[in-house]
Amino acid sequence: MPGGKAVSVALQPTDGDADLALWGPKTLSVLESGQARKRDARGLSERSGTKRERLRVRNTARKGAYFYAEASFASGAPRHAAGISYVLSASIVNPK
């Protein structure tokens, strides 16, 4: 993402409950915990069912950076992961 810009990310599950998380550029793994998780996690959307998940994150640095979107299946989901699909979209937007 370009420096000083923001990205709006949307995840639309088509037949199951999927969640969306955004991670910062220093992320080594989405399985981080403790201080690393506190530093790198940028947002989490956990709406139930097939509702659209949306998050926005801003790159406050002057230089461009990679941010990461994670799609995960909600705990207790009634279907196996192989049976859930989704559409992920991302758009660069001006920060608010």
> How sure is the predictor about 85, in pLDDT bands with cuts at 50, 70 and 90?
confident
- Cα 33 from Cα 89, distance rounded (Å): 27
Return the domain boundaries, the chain.
6-93
Contacts of 80 (CB under 8 A, 6+ apart): none
Output helix, strand, coil percentages for the chain, rounded to the nearest 5.
10, 40, 50
Report the number of secondary-structure helices (H) and strands (E) in the chain. 1, 6
Instruction: Tell me which of 27 and 17 has the higher pLDDT.
Output: 27
Q: Is the pLDDT of residue 26 over 80?
A: yes
pLDDT of residue 30: 94
pTM: predicted TM-score of the whole model, two decimal places: 0.86
pLDDT tens digits for range 9-23:
999 998 888 899 999
pLDDT tens digits for range 32-78:
999 999 999 999 999 988 999 999 999 999 999 999 999 988 665 55
